[in-house]
Amino acid sequence: MSETTEGPLPKRSTNDTGKHRDASASGATPEIGQDIEVEVGPIAAGGGCVGRAPDGRVMFVRHSLPGERVLARVTGETRSFLRADAIEVLEASPDRVDPPCMHAGPGQCGGCDFQHVAPAAQRRLKADLLAEQLQRLAGVDYRVEVEEVPGDPRGLAWRTRVAFAVDEDGVVGLRRHRSHDVIPVARCPIAIDAVNDSGVTNARWPGVRQVEVVASSATEVPVVVVDTGTGRPRDLPEVATGIMWRGRTLQAPSHVTFDVLGHRFTVRAGGFWQVHPEAGRVLSEAVLEGLAPQPGERACDLYAGAGLFSAALARAVGPTGAVVAVERSGSAVADLEVNVADFEAELEIIRADIRPDVVARRIGRPDVVVLDPARAGAGIDVMTALVGLDPPPRAVAYVSCEPAPFARDLRVALDAGWSLASLRAFDLFPMTEHVEMVAILQPPG
């Protein structure tokens, strides 16, 4: 990857002789490091906008907005497309704003895609991305409004978990986009205060390659998960946090707590939990509204994690109902058992990979199902098994943070005669291209 000018709105670049290197001539083949004037079009997956290089190849231009004319510096290439950064804005979109983070911009931190975009416009871009993926991969013309979630209206101070990189000198920071370089960062504007005030970024971590800080409004002491690659960490700094390493508690506490709809959840640091402070509540309410589980019903929670949806389902089906939760991670299952222990519903916890045979043979015949897979999605085989249950569930809630795998899996259900009853999208990841979805699927008839 070539060097790019740092800063949110850098000036035109020059070559060694001070002459601007331009590859805008029709038919010219751009090289990495060259600058091209281009008018960019729609947003694309990955956070950049689509432009066209002089040789006809598609350009994905980060730090740009649809309709803008920019000077784009080529940063990478394949046989079919180019990657580029907008290093100068020649004609700006009305949706462009000054980035609130000093580390945002070409050649800088790769953590945020949309620091240069007004918050309302970010949500419109995410809706565009979702609609495009649904049409292309699922064959569905469906557009939703990405819903704003309570919090800082600027899209800041929402991350309860941040994985900081550590350089060879033990300095903490975040990685440059598409690079292993570490940019020292004392405060991350999209992190909550408890993360930034933990003291982790001001300390030196020799021999460590990553520190993940996990905090919540319900937890007094954050926890740091240390990744050393190989060998036990030594000479760790004195920080007023818990410290975890390879599942071992080097310094208490080892867990973080979250309050959702009147219930307290305990989650081991390093385990999965939604990163936005409002995510647990927003998603639980959306799932319950979409499924409308009734007292006495049988519910299934696939990819159950620490039990966010298992708890919501157990509360809804009550003492005459049942919940079966399936989760592969042993530490998540340990948290799940604690987090659902106080509910009166019949509870069955299965520790297993979510495979087609598990869905077909071990979960029984649930009335309602929640599946919240990782970013890769449930997959065609699991979806085929789920929509093939006989009798089928009366409703399935699919929770996803990645439009493309979700659209692929939705296609499986649609091809089996199921319907998309509703789809909601939530802006749980401001300043990034990511969006969280809750879809309700219903069987034929």
Instruction: Show which residues are catalytic.
Output: 401
**Residue 104, C-beta contacts closer than 8 angstroms, at least 6 positions apart:** 8, 112, 115, 116
Cα–Cα distances (Å) from 411 to 59, 138, 351, 381, 418, in that order, read 29, 5, 28, 12, 9
**Residue 262, C-beta contacts closer than 8 angstroms, at least 6 positions apart:** none
On whether the CB atoms of residues 27 and 55 are closer than 8 A, the answer is: yes
**Residue 309, C-beta contacts closer than 8 angstroms, at least 6 positions apart:** 283, 284, 287, 301, 370, 372, 397, 399
**Cα–Cα distance measured from residue 259 to residue 441, given in angstroms and rounded to the nearest whole number:** 28
**Per DSSP, what are the bridge partners of residue 438?**
399, 424
On whether the CB atoms of residues 244 and 225 are closer than 8 A, the answer is: yes
On whether the CB atoms of residues 317 and 294 are closer than 8 A, the answer is: yes
Helices first, then strands: H and E counts in the chain: 8, 22
196 three-state secondary structure: helix
Helix intervals (H) in 237-319: 279-291, 308-317
User: 86-96 burial, b for 16+ CB within 10 Å, e for fewer?
Assistant: bbbbeebbebb
**C-alpha distance across the termini of the chain, in Å:** 54
**Cα–Cα distance measured from residue 217 to residue 268, given in angstroms and rounded to the nearest whole number:** 16
Q: Which residue has the tokens 């620490």?
A: 306
Query: What is the 3-state secondary structure of 100-162?
Result: CCCCCCCCCECCCCCCCECHHHHHHHHHHHHHHHHHHHHCCCCCCCEECCCCCCCCCCCECEE
Q: Which residue has the tokens 């983070």?
A: 101
**Per DSSP, what are the bridge partners of residue 69?**
39, 91
Q: Which residue has the tokens 């409703």?
A: 395
